[in-house]
Amino acid sequence: MSNIKKTTLKNESGMVSIMVTMILMVVMSLIVIGFAQISRRNQRQVLDRQLSTQAFYAAESGVNDVRQLIKTKGVPPAKTDCANTGAYYSGLQPTVNTGNKVSYSCVLVNPTPTQLQFNSVDNTSSTVIRIESADSTAPIKTLTLTWEPNAAVASPLALCPTSATNAFSTSANWKCGYGVLRTDLTSVDGPFDTSTLAGSTMTSFSVPIAGALGTTINYAAGASNPNTLKGISCTVAKCQLNIDNMQVHSAYYLRMLSLYIGVPLQINGTDINGNAVKFVGAQVIIDSTGKAQDVLRRIQTYVSATGRSDRNANPDNAVSSFGPVCKRFSATGGFFSNDTAGIPSSVVTDPLADRLCR
């Protein structure tokens, strides 16, 4: 009996080692599997980022292809499905890279948006757009301009003017987060001569002032315009100006310039029936979806209805100078003089300049 017990003990003496070995193998296997999964996940993430970038660029290609069509063929018709059919859109080539399966799978076009958007109306070159309703039976009654503060200014209203009377200062002293928005609204449904255009243009300077939103002015052009300088109530988030009673004309051009500092701006409108205006001839919304293998990216952008920039190609001012501009003559009460006597030639390079130019 004793010999049997000793033999059994000898036979079971390796079980602990076997169990420890098996546990270690299981643990090591789990670690290896975990690392393999992490490696595969990282590899897939890298691949997804690469495919996402390709899909994004493919979507941009769709936008650029439609912009090129607009440049060559004019304002596009509405495109509400993904099929590239019809005389206007049949020339689209959605395949970007056949080997890597990169393309833009769908492009939609809305030529009559209910809102116009501008990333920056700046102080160096004006923005000019057409303002017209797509529904000729329901002209625009009210135009609403909403602009946001410049993102670089932490407290946009802290140093703004307190009234329209102290609006203008030098650019170096302007600390307000909003610019002074200049708008020139001109009717274009009449004859295009100088006197008619001058008489149908309303120019206003909107000065940002802290207060509740909702400032409204009435459209009045030419000499009857009472809105040349107007304090506009603004919050820390936005300024808003409503231009009412516009239904006297069917179409306008709007020129915008934000003095001192550039700002993003949106335009909405309501017609005589109280409905949201669908603008035509100003901007087009292009909705493009890019695809790279099984990854999709969708972008939406507003582009000019002409396919070109909305920036004014003409000078915004009659006189431009890098230095002070001074008079070349003196005129007071029937007296005129260019008054150059006694001024050293080393100081005055223009013989017509007067002593105000020294």
**Where are the domains positioned within the chain?**
116-280, 324-358
Contact 305, 284 (CB under 8 A): yes
The dihedrals phi and psi of 210, each to the nearest 5 degrees, come to: -65, 135
Q: Token pair 């948006």 is at which residue?
A: 113
Q: Which residue has the tokens 């209805």?
A: 305
Three-state DSSP class for residue 87: helix
Whole-model pTM: value is 0.75
Length of the chain: 358
> Which residue type does 276 have?
A
Q: Which residues contact 307 (CB under 8 A, 6 or more apart)?
A: 67, 68, 69, 70, 71
b/e per residue, 299-308, with b = 16+ CB within 10 A?
bebbbbbbbe
pLDDT at 349: 44
Give dist(CA 312, CA 131) in Å, integer. Answer: 15
Does residue 247 contact residue 141 with C-beta atoms inside 8 Å?
A: yes
58, 144, 77, 61: which is closest to 305 by C-alpha? 77
Distance CA 279, CA 276 (A): 9
Summarised one tens digit per residue, pLDDT across range 335-352 is 555 544 444 444 444 444
CA distance 55 to 184: 41
Amino acid at position 338, single letter: N
Distance (Å, whole) CA 97 – CA 100: 6
pLDDT tens digits for range 155-185: 888 888 888 776 778 888 888 999 899 999 9
Q: Is 116-280 assigned to CATH 2.60.120.380?
A: yes
**Number of other residues whose CB lies within 10 A of the CB of residue 256:** 23
Cβ neighbours of 264 (radius 10 Å):
17
Tokens 């076997």 correspond to what residue? 18
First to last CA, the chain: 129
141, 215, 232, 308, 317 from 275: Cα distances, Å: 10, 20, 25, 29, 37
Residues of the chain with pLDDT under 50: 339-356, 358
Amino acid at 178: Y
